[in-house]
Chains A and B, each alone.
Chain A
């Protein structure tokens, strides 16, 4: 359904992504893991064209885009099929929760106010925020803001939702509520590309795990393979380092 081909990206002559190929099928939950600074965020941002790759291609079943010759129209088309959930939520601060969810439906999808309102109500319900419709972002907790931003992404009915460490800006006690929401939408068949450091969560919800290191995909496969029978030394090293950290977090919860 979605294929990334040979994505390259450099910042100031320093190559961050060194040729990424990745296939994602409809309904897949693909989780990218890997050390800090490896280019996970950059890859996600490239998919959404928030970052312009130097080289490479993205292909949907009926639409394909070569990053070396993009037109403005293509960028908008790409963005309208993908939605991004940011680490810092990035809600529109001058709009209430429901207005945040409605805005792009009205502006981008040209829906009527009424249709947008109903859709937004449905999605806010889905993330458990039906009682916060009229709250402004400044009046919501981090976890609630992130759930609004997930509703905002869902409301666009994108072909894929990109999550970049959706819980890493949150206080530990708020992580659970956001993971629950992501878990639930993953199960409902939404296609997801996720970056996270929550390893047991990744193991739990993913159909595929991608381990990235130094701008390259080192290994990919079902969670059972990556977490229990990894073929690559670097993957094992990374995970072993991580497991020791993770127990600390679980006891803290």
Chain B
């Protein structure tokens, strides 16, 4: 069997047409996962009773189990759990379960990036803001966040790249995204053109990750000024 570029070009439009779905999954999971992680980080830092140990448990579980397993647990388990409190999600599509999985996964993982970055801003500066009469919100947005960002950014960037790669397992619960499309193509051809198909998929993932990487680097450059002044330049 040899590579067939003509075939690869022929199947490309099929992938392009599902690209928006993959991008929506990445964007939603990234955004809501980030928001969840901010909440989780807040609970851990404030040591909120009961919730804080629960968050540690949730993070430990997420870090210690394969994401594929997490997805299957969400897919089969979430409807059962939610039905206990009277919420019916049986009509959810695979995509929604996929997003739910990735949001939960990132909520835990990003918190492991945000928490140390928050702690890297010394307590003294936070007290200085307090003593000057800043509200908690002003302290967070004006003093803490601008200093957390450059510290957290490389880690968040990596997490985004991982998130992109992680979407490659969603076809298992029936999401017809890039991998799902590849899978369909292969079964239609009885597996005769696997290499061409997978190579095309690889190139698409590469392209998405490459652009994500550029986007992150651009952001890192924009916040580089804080690195310099923090004496954190590497």
Instruction: Give the docked Cα–Cα distance between A84 and B125 (Å).
Output: 12
Chain B positions 117-154 with a Cβ under 8 Å from a chain A Cβ: 122, 124-125, 127-135, 138, 142-143, 146-147
- Cβ of A104 within 8 Å of any chain B Cβ, yes or no, is yes
Name which residue of chain A comes closest to B230, CB basis: A93
- Contact flags B167-202 to A (C-beta < 8 A → 1, else 0): 000000000000000000000000000000000000
Q: Which of A82, A83, A92 touches B125 (beta carbons < 8 Å)?
A: A92
Do A107 and B138 have beta carbons less than 8 Å apart?
yes
Find chain A residues with CB under 8 A from B229 CB. Answer: 93-94, 136-138
Name which residue of chain B comes closest to A162, CB basis: B131
Q: Which of A86, A94, A152 touches B127 (beta carbons < 8 Å)?
A: A86
Do A90 and B134 have beta carbons less than 8 Å apart?
no
Do A90 and B127 have beta carbons less than 8 Å apart?
yes
Do B230 and A80 have beta carbons less than 8 Å apart?
no
- Contact flags A81-119 to B (C-beta < 8 A → 1, else 0): 011101011111110000000011001100000000000
Question: A107 with B127: in contact, given A92-B143, A94-B229 (CB under 8 Å)?
Answer: no
Find chain B residues with CB under 8 A from A103 CB. Answer: 132, 142-143
Greatest chain A CB density within 10 A among B132, B143, B146 is at: B132
- Cβ of A236 within 8 Å of any chain B Cβ, yes or no, is no
- Cβ of B226 within 8 Å of any chain A Cβ, yes or no, is yes
- Cβ of B231 within 8 Å of any chain A Cβ, yes or no, is yes
Question: A76 with B133: in contact, given A93-B230, A136-B229, A138-B231 (CB under 8 Å)?
Answer: yes
- Interface size for chain B: under 10, 10 to 19, 20 to 34, or 35 or more residues? 20 to 34
Question: A79 with B230: in contact, given A91-B128, A92-B128, A94-B147 (CB under 8 Å)?
Answer: no
Do A104 and B230 have beta carbons less than 8 Å apart?
no
Do B133 and A104 have beta carbons less than 8 Å apart?
yes
- Interface size for chain A: under 10, 10 to 19, 20 to 34, or 35 or more residues? 20 to 34
Instruction: Give the docked Cα–Cα distance between A149 and B128 (Å).
Output: 9
Do A156 and B132 have beta carbons less than 8 Å apart?
yes
Greatest chain B CB density within 10 A among A88, A90, A156 is at: A90
- Cβ of A48 within 8 Å of any chain B Cβ, yes or no, is yes
Do A107 and B131 have beta carbons less than 8 Å apart?
no
Find chain A residues with CB under 8 A from B128 CB. Answer: 84, 86, 90-92, 149
Greatest chain B CB density within 10 A among A84, A94, A103, A152 is at: A94
Q: Which of A88, A94, A149 touches B146 (beta carbons < 8 Å)?
A: A94
- Cβ of A50 within 8 Å of any chain B Cβ, yes or no, is yes
How far apart are A80's CB and chain B's nearest CB, in angstroms?
A: 4
Question: A79 with B131: in contact, given A107-B138, A108-B138, A136-B229 (CB under 8 Å)?
Answer: yes
Find chain A residues with CB under 8 A from B127 CB. Answer: 50, 84, 86, 90
Instruction: Give the docked Cα–Cα distance between A82 and B130 (Å).
Output: 11
Q: Identify the A interface with B (CB < 8 A).
A: 48, 50, 76, 79-80, 82-84, 86, 88-94, 103-104, 107-108, 136-138, 149, 152, 156
The 3 closest A-B pairs by CB, nearest first: A90-B124, A90-B128, A104-B132
